[in-house]
């Protein structure tokens, strides 16, 4: 059975609005030995990384940029709860370990299930759990350079 990891990658349009740039099953699955499969969901080419413009390559080895305070961990988001709207200066990797959750960005809601990976590239977002079961998410935040669109820095809120 082939490894099927859904990856969702956010970014910004030319006006600085948060958008879903990629929503797909990773295509770069590889096997280097029997009974082994892996894929690269996202990688950056510098530190701190920067977030590219609107044209985001579908390749998992694309190089993105952003800014944030590095802080990683996990969270259990209870049913019918909402987390505060945030805009990190970072690239955040959110791996849904169990349950289901919605990620809201400007004008869009992305529903994530266990096994899905979200690469949040400095976009303003909100988390909600409209279900009846808790959702457990592991977060890895990597500090990044500020996002800039049309000569304007898109800073963190709050």
Task: Give me the residues of the chain with pLDDT under 50, please.
Answer: 53-70, 156-158
pTM over 0.95: no
What is the residue range of 131's domain?
Answer: 6-154
What pLDDT score was predicted for residue 5? 87
| Domain total in the chain | 1
What pLDDT score was predicted for residue 55? 39
What would the pLDDT profile of 95-122 be if each residue is shown by its tens digit? Answer: 999 999 999 988 789 999 999 999 988 8
Say if 1 falls within a structural domain. no
Say if 73 falls within a structural domain. yes
What pLDDT score was predicted for residue 156? 46
What pLDDT score was predicted for residue 29? 85
CATH of the domain at 92: 2.60.120.10
What pLDDT score was predicted for residue 89? 75
What pLDDT score was predicted for residue 124? 81
The DSSP secondary structure of 39-89, one letter per residue, reads: ------SSSS-B---S---SSTT---B-------EEEEE-TTEEPPPB--S
Query: Alpha-carbon torsion 151, 147, 44, 41, what sign?
Result: negative
């Amino acid at each position: 059975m082939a490894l099927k990891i859904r990856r969702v990658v956010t970014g910004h349009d030319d006006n600085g609005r948060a958008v879903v740039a990629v929503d797909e099953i990773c295509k770069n699955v590889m096997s280097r030995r029997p009974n082994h499969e892996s894929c690269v969901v996202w990688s950056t080419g510098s530190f701190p990384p920067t977030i590219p413009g609107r044209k985001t390559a579908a390749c998992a080895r694309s190089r993105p940029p952003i800014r944030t305070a590095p802080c990683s961990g996990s969270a259990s988001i209870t049913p019918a709860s909402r987390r505060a709207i945030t805009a990190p200066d970072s690239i955040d990797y959110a791996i849904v370990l169990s349950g289901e959750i919605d990620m809201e960005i400007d004008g869009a809601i992305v529903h994530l299930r266990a096994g899905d990976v979200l690469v949040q590239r400095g976009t303003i977002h909100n988390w909600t759990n409209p279900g009846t079961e808790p959702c457990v998410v592991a977060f890895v935040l990597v500090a990044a350079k500020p996002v800039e669109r049309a000569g304007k820095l898109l800073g963190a809120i709050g």
